[in-house]
Structure 1
């Protein structure tokens, strides 16, 4: 029977293999095949549907994570039911938006996404207040074991991704669509960059609490900042650096695979606890959070959608350059 160390290295090897397999996505994308982790290229609607996909993954992660954490807290405050409702609605809206090829924004989805974003913002403030009133205030011990700041922020990001998707659909007939005063490609790229860095900070805190007992625990602390840096560099450098864009896309795909593989790592961590999955009622609550890693996948999808939008904005056939 394999030891825990052998299982860990096997899981790490599987993650590395997934990352290497992402090299093949470049060839498939050139053939125009629609892939799960690669947005279709050529229209704002394609990018909007990719953002719906990312928003849905984040909402799915938040819905399950908040259900487990708030159940452990015995739903002491009725407001603890709010993220379950808003995240579930965001997930349903995202699933419907993924199937929608219309160039018109949907008011119901738009309202749901705004509600999810507002819920995430309020939840972040509530968790911050909860930490500040504990003995010691904002100390390391409370950051380790108090209400997590990153969980409601993921719901905020889900709402933002969905909001951007609806803005994209509503801007299909405009000249150069802009969001918050920025070209939409840059706006989505900066939002994905900030989300990757913020999620990475939360993971670094929790893995530091776990003393980085396994080598694989370093991967989600190292890979997302690299993806965020490459994405931001792509925005700053402009269209004149195709190798940089290729590397950024590749690393975002690796980050997306890493998020999915991370759920497998956490499932392995739960299995190592006393009783394993036979004692799932307890181990799901005390073990590593199973639904958390796919948040990286959702944000990586947003980064890939940003690349699609940046390519659109720099396409002279779609947006002719004005002389002078």
Structure 2
């Protein structure tokens, strides 16, 4: 009887010891499981190649703007019979910028390219000089800065498109050469927020130019109000993104702003269709295309909104992968 009691006591001690050991070990395992994600998933560390991907997106945006300038200046300066030999300059420079952007889009190396830098700076300088020529063209007419001359003189905002193309391309080279351990910057400023602010200013300027020409057309089609309403709202969103604290912007991901940029990109392509319809309404329609393309709404102008929206998306993408950029 005593041996049975001793056996039961011994078994109870062993079972109690095993149970206590199990209970003591469970919290440690649970705590270990909870700590693993915090140690293995850093939030702020960028993924490999983030800077190169952002640079390629900016190259595509610069290329879209350059293509729009190439087509638009070809038509408008041909209509002006290339009276001034300098009118060939934007054709050559925009074609060079388009080729430069294509090269940058295909380049996956995390290094800036000197020839691309030179091409983009040449485009920016061409835009500044071209703006001066267009201002001179308007002021030399009778009446100077009048509605008549602003409507039918050289468009003041047109050369700014090649300026923006060169500026965005130059920024792409600065972003590309940023190593993973550094914050992408342009002229000492956070790259993503700087590009967002530049893009917002470009949207406002392009919308103002469209508003002037659509005002000349008396907004006879209600859709003519779209490019003077949607882009300013997108610009306000980008300015808000550029001004916000990085700690507050990382978690929100700017979903509405990103969706609005895609909307503006689609608006640019849809604008080509509306302008094509405007050409078809002129006498002779597309059968008289050689005259109506010159006198109708400019077909290559709306894609400039697409190029700027692509730049805004590039800035938002860079900001998502580099929260402090």
The answer to whether TM tops 0.5 is yes
Please give the residue correspondences for 1:88-107 in structure 2 after superposition, counting only pairs within 5 Å: 88-107=95-114
**Residue 204 (structure 2) aligns with:** 197
Indicate whether 1:240 and 2:282 are aligned. Answer: no
Please give the residue correspondences for 1:67-82 in structure 2 after superposition, counting only pairs within 5 Å: 67-82=74-89
Paired residue total: 277
* Structure 1 contact 41–308 (Cα < 8 Å) conserved: no
Q: What residue ranges of structure 1 are gaps of 5+ in the alignment?
A: 1-39, 320-324
Please give the residue correspondences for 1:75-224 in structure 2 after superposition, counting only pairs within 5 Å: 75-172=82-179, 175-224=182-231
**Residue 261 (structure 2) aligns with:** 252
What is the TM-score with the length of structure 1 in the denominator? 0.82
Q: Secondary structure at the match of 1:97?
A: helix
Cα shift at 1:181: 2.8
CA-based RMSD of the aligned residues comes to 1.7
Cα shift at 1:106: 1.4
* Structure 1 contact 154–295 (Cα < 8 Å) conserved: yes
Q: Deviations over 1:168-201 (max 9, x none)?
A: 1122356112212311011101100000000000
Higher radius of gyration, 1 or 2: 2
**Residue 305 (structure 1) aligns with:** 314
Q: How far apart, in 2, do the equivalents of 1:296 and 1:109 lie?
A: 23
Cα shift at 1:243: 5.1
Q: What residue ranges of structure 2 are gaps of 5+ in the alignment?
A: 1-46
Q: Secondary structure at the match of 2:292?
A: helix
Q: How far apart, in 1, do the equivalents of 2:196 and 2:74 lie?
A: 30
Q: Deviations over 1:195-234 (max 9, x none)?
A: 0000000000000000001111011110001111111112
What is the TM-score with the length of structure 2 in the denominator? 0.82
Q: How far apart, in 2, do the equivalents of 1:174 and 1:64 lie?
A: 41
Please give the residue correspondences for 1:23-42 in structure 2 after superposition, counting only pairs within 5 Å: none
